[in-house]
Structure 1
Amino acid sequence: MTLQEFEPWQAELSRAYAAEQVAAGVWTADEALDRALEGSAALLPDGLATPGMLLLLGVLPDGTRVGRVWIGLQHPRGIAGCAFVYDLEVEPEHRGRGLGRELLSLGERAARDHGARAVELNVFGTNATAIALYASAGYRVVTQQMRKELAD
């Protein structure tokens, strides 16, 4: 990823993450974007030069950019030898062609090449497409967070 691609990607990622947090009932709409931007800036304090972060683009042989994967080589909870997928995204017009699976596989290979022995990620429970992709790629549930809304 280049610097010219990084800044728009970071803004887009923060908007999407904020929307997911609001939809999941975790954050309010008023606070969501600021919180997402702060979280992204904390994880990538040096932008593209942040140590231990892989920001990879999926590019077809003709140069068409189809998606991206962001992997941290150190797990956010400190699990030794375990990398963490922060983002995997395929552009809408390129979905349904196996490119997400290929990007995930390439990201895993890059993490392994940097010493990772495992990879974890979080996925929102309402994202059935992503859950199916990860399950079919060999990921298994290791923790599960559940919520019940209480009536007034």
Structure 2
Amino acid sequence: MTALTVRPMTPDEYAQWQTTIATEYAAEQVAAGRWAADGAVQRALDENAELLPDGLQTPRTLLLTAVDAAGAPVGRAWVSLDHPRGAPDVAFLYDIEVAEPHRGKGYGRALLAAVEQATRETGVGALELNVFGHNATAISLYGSSGYDVVTQQMRKAL
């Protein structure tokens, strides 16, 4: 497996990530037809602020930067050790991403494994995530990494 470790995000990484994740999340929600484009980025920023009221210091939260063998950042992850719908002993992976220039090198699988290990070390027994139906690469990665579909939402354009 590709060599990769995770470490806590720095304050500078966190500040940059806040803008990046809100923009990306808003675009995904708009593309999925769940949100209107107008105001979507602000809505994403507001939702994230509710989930991370103390930023990097938010309790029971892992905000991680993935680094390669040379120590260069190649990705990120955000895990809440408390499930958003209250499932007991289940953490929730809100965000995981390998930066574009580093994709296709095995970092996605390595990052997922590192996030699972960091979560396991907290004593939480399971990790759950959502994935958009159009993201075939991620769906394949999660399936081949042992994740099972526990709910499924479907839509048909009329």
Q: Calculate the TM-score normalised by the size of structure 2.
A: 0.92
Superposition CA RMSD, Å: 0.8
- Matched ranges for 1:73-112 at <5 A: 73-112=81-120
Amino acid at match of 1:54: L
**Structure 1 residue 53 and structure 2 residue 67: aligned?**
no
Distance of 1:93 and 1:149 partners within structure 2: 34
Distance of 2:144 and 2:69 partners within structure 1: 26
**Structure 1 residue 145 and structure 2 residue 153: aligned?**
yes
Aligned with 1:56: secondary structure?
strand
Distance of 2:157 and 2:43 partners within structure 1: 23
Equivalence for 2:127: 119
Distance of 1:109 and 1:130 partners within structure 2: 19
Aligned with 2:26: secondary structure?
helix
Deviation (angstroms), 1:31: 2.4
The count of aligned residue pairs is 150
Q: CA offsets per residue over residues 100-134 of structure 1, 9 Å max, x none?
A: 11111111111111111111000000011111111
**Structure 1 residue 136 and structure 2 residue 106: aligned?**
no
**Structure 1 residue 32 and structure 2 residue 40: aligned?**
yes
Q: 1:18 aligns with which of 18, 26, 51?
A: 26
Equivalence for 1:41: 49
Distance of 2:106 and 2:126 partners within structure 1: 22
Identity, in percent, stands at 59
Aligned with 1:54: secondary structure?
strand
Amino acid at match of 1:2: T
Q: 2:71 aligns with which of 63, 66, 90?
A: 63
Distance of 1:76 and 1:95 partners within structure 2: 29
Deviation (angstroms), 1:148: 2.2
Structure 1 stretches of 4+ moved >6 Å: none
